[in-house]
Amino acid sequence: MTLNHGLDLVAIPGPSILPERVRAVLAQPMPNIYAGEIVETSDRVLARLPGIARTAGHGFVVIGNGHAAWQMAIDNLLVPGDKALVLDSGAFARFWGEFARAAGVEVEVLPGDMRSPVDPEAVHERLAADDGSIRAVLVAHTDTASSVRNDIAALRSAIDAAGHDALFMVDGIASIGAEQFEMDTWGVDIAIGASQKGLMCPPGVAIVWAGAKAMDRYRRLSSDRPRTAYVDWEHRIDPEAIYQSYAGTPPVMHLRALDVAFDLIDEEGGLEVVWNRHRILADAVRAAVSAWSTPDGIEFNIDSPEHRSDAVTTVKTGSINATELGRVCLEQYGVTIGVGLANERASTFRLGHMGHVNPPMVLGAVGSVEAALVEMGARFADSGVAAAAASIGGR
Ligand SMILES: Cc1ncc(COP(=O)(O)O)c(C=O)c1O
Answer yes or no: is 279 within a domain. Answer: yes
Q: In terms of domains, do 243 and 294 share one?
A: no
Residue 379 Cβ inside 6 Å of ligand 1? The answer reads no
Ligand 1 pocket mutation, candidates 92, 141, 341, criterion most atoms within 8 A of CB: 92
The CA-to-CA distance between both ends of the chain, in Å, stands at 37
Q: Is the pLDDT of residue 22 over 90?
A: yes
Q: How far is CA 20 from CA 24, 184, 258, 347, 360, in A?
A: 6, 32, 13, 34, 16
Q: In terms of domains, do 133 and 236 share one?
A: yes
Predicted local confidence at residue 253, as pLDDT: 98
Q: Report yes or no: 366 and 389 within 8 Å, Cβ to Cβ.
A: no
Predicted local confidence at residue 149, as pLDDT: 98
Q: What number of other Cβ atoms are within 10 A of residue 6's Cβ?
A: 8
- Domain termination site, one of 265, 295, 318: 265
Residue 171 Cβ inside 6 Å of ligand 1? The answer reads yes
Q: In terms of domains, do 209 and 310 share one?
A: no
Compute and round to an integer the Cα radius of gyration of the chain.
Answer: 21
Please tell me what DSSP assigns to residue 19.
P
Q: Is the pLDDT of residue 109 over 90?
A: yes
What's the whole-number mean pLDDT along residues 177-204?
98
Q: In terms of domains, do 203 and 280 share one?
A: no
Range of lowest pLDDT (3-17, 39-53, 335-349)? 335-349
Please tell me what DSSP assigns to residue 183.
T
Answer yes or no: is 223 within a domain. Answer: yes
Predicted local confidence at residue 341, as pLDDT: 82
Please tell me what DSSP assigns to residue 269.
T
Q: In terms of domains, do 290 and 192 share one?
A: no
Residue 91 Cβ inside 6 Å of ligand 1? The answer reads no
Q: Is the pLDDT of residue 107 over 80?
A: yes
Predicted local confidence at residue 226, as pLDDT: 81
Q: pLDDT above 70 covers what percent of the chain?
A: 99
- The pTM is what? 0.98
Predicted local confidence at residue 118, as pLDDT: 98
Q: Which among 282, 259, 143 is positioned nearest to 199, based on CA atoms?
A: 259
Owning domain of residue 302: 9-16+269-393
Tell me how far the alpha carbon of residue 99 lies from the centroid of ligand 1, in angstroms. 13
Q: Which among 342, 289, 381, 362 is positioned nearest to 146, based on CA atoms?
A: 342
Q: In terms of domains, do 117 and 187 share one?
A: yes
Q: Is the pLDDT of residue 197 over 80?
A: yes
The string of pLDDT tens digits covering residues 112-153 is: 989 999 999 999 999 999 999 999 999 999 999 999 999 999
The string of pLDDT tens digits covering residues 247-300 is: 999 999 999 999 999 999 999 999 999 999 999 999 999 999 999 999 999 999
Q: In terms of domains, do 191 and 231 share one?
A: yes
Tell me how far the alpha carbon of residue 92 lies from the centroid of ligand 1, in angstroms. 7
Q: In terms of domains, do 328 and 286 share one?
A: yes
- Domain termination site, one of 231, 265, 299: 265
Predicted local confidence at residue 225, as pLDDT: 77
Answer yes or no: is 282 within a domain. Answer: yes
Mean pLDDT, the chain, whole residue set = 97
Answer yes or no: is 22 within a domain. Answer: no
Q: pLDDT above 90 covers what percent of the chain?
A: 96
Q: Whose CA is nearest to atom 2 of ligand 1?
A: 173
Count the domains in the chain: 2
The backbone torsions φ and ψ at residue 206, rounded to the nearest 5 degrees and listed phi first, read: -135, 170
Answer yes or no: is 324 within a domain. Answer: yes
Q: Tell me the CATH number at 375.
A: 3.90.1150.10
| Number of alpha helices (DSSP H) and beta strands (DSSP E) in the chain | 13, 14
Q: In terms of domains, do 247 and 350 share one?
A: no
Residue 245 Cβ inside 6 Å of ligand 1? The answer reads no
The string of pLDDT tens digits covering residues 37-95 is: 999 999 999 999 999 999 999 999 999 999 999 999 999 999 999 999 999 999 999 99
> How many Å apart are CA 209 and CA 53, to the nearest integer?
8
Q: In terms of domains, do 51 and 173 share one?
A: yes
Answer yes or no: is 108 within a domain. Answer: yes
Q: In terms of domains, do 175 and 86 share one?
A: yes
- Domain termination site, one of 233, 265, 297: 265
Q: How many alpha carbons lie under 13 Å from residue 158 in its C-beta half-sphere?
A: 20
Answer yes or no: is 130 within a domain. Answer: yes
Q: In terms of domains, do 174 and 283 share one?
A: no
Answer yes or no: is 25 within a domain. Answer: no
The string of pLDDT tens digits covering residues 198-239 is: 999 999 999 999 999 999 999 998 677 788 999 999 999 999
Q: Tell me the CATH number at 157.
A: 3.40.640.10
Ligand 1 pocket mutation, candidates 72, 173, 190, criterion most atoms within 8 A of CB: 173
Q: How far is CA 112 from CA 129, 344, 380, in A?
A: 19, 17, 30
